[in-house]
Amino acid sequence: MGLQRVEIGLVSADEALVEFFAHVFGLERLPAVKSGSGVVHRLQAPGTVIKVMVPSAPPSVTEPPESFLSATGLRYLTMYVTDLDGTLERVTARGGRLRHGPMDVGPGVRVAVVQDPDGNTVEVVGGAPQPDTDRR
């Protein structure tokens, strides 16, 4: 037995969040899956799948904590990008907000913390080396 894949799921009131992630991070939209409870939109890139569930009955909007570090639980996604500055431009152009940074965290590595239009926190990392996938 072993883990095959992890998919991250977000819940949103409409498809705007789907468009945000597709445009900002260049994710490929997969065919939507409709069910009695709503529509699941899947977006993918190598090694990544993000699902956005748009329920049939619109969910109530909850206010995110002021800082993602001020509450327990799943609080942020980390997205590794090849063009941090371009990504941050797309974040703000598509209704997201820059919360922190960008800041240097190591040789050639920069990090920024943004919020998507629904208020979800996303850590965006540019210039990080590729992980060594041969180690086990």
Interaxial angle between packed helices 84-93 and 16-25, expressed in degrees from 0 to 180 and rounded to the nearest 10: 160
List domains and CATH numbers for the chain: 8-56+70-126 (3.10.180.10)
Confidence (pTM): 0.85
Instruction: Find the mean pLDDT for residues 51-67.
Output: 80
Has residue 133 got a pLDDT over 70?
A: no
pLDDT attached to residue 61: 75
Q: What distance in Å separates the CA atoms of residue 8 and residue 75, rounded to the nearest whole number?
A: 12
By C-alpha distance, which of 30, 28, 134, 115 is closest to 76? 115
Place of tokens 């941050």: 88
Tell me the pLDDT tens digit for each residue of 78-96: 999 999 999 999 999 999 9
| Rounded percentage of the chain residues whose pLDDT exceeds 70 | 90
Q: What distance in Å separates the CA atoms of residue 136 and residue 131, rounded to the nearest whole number?
A: 12
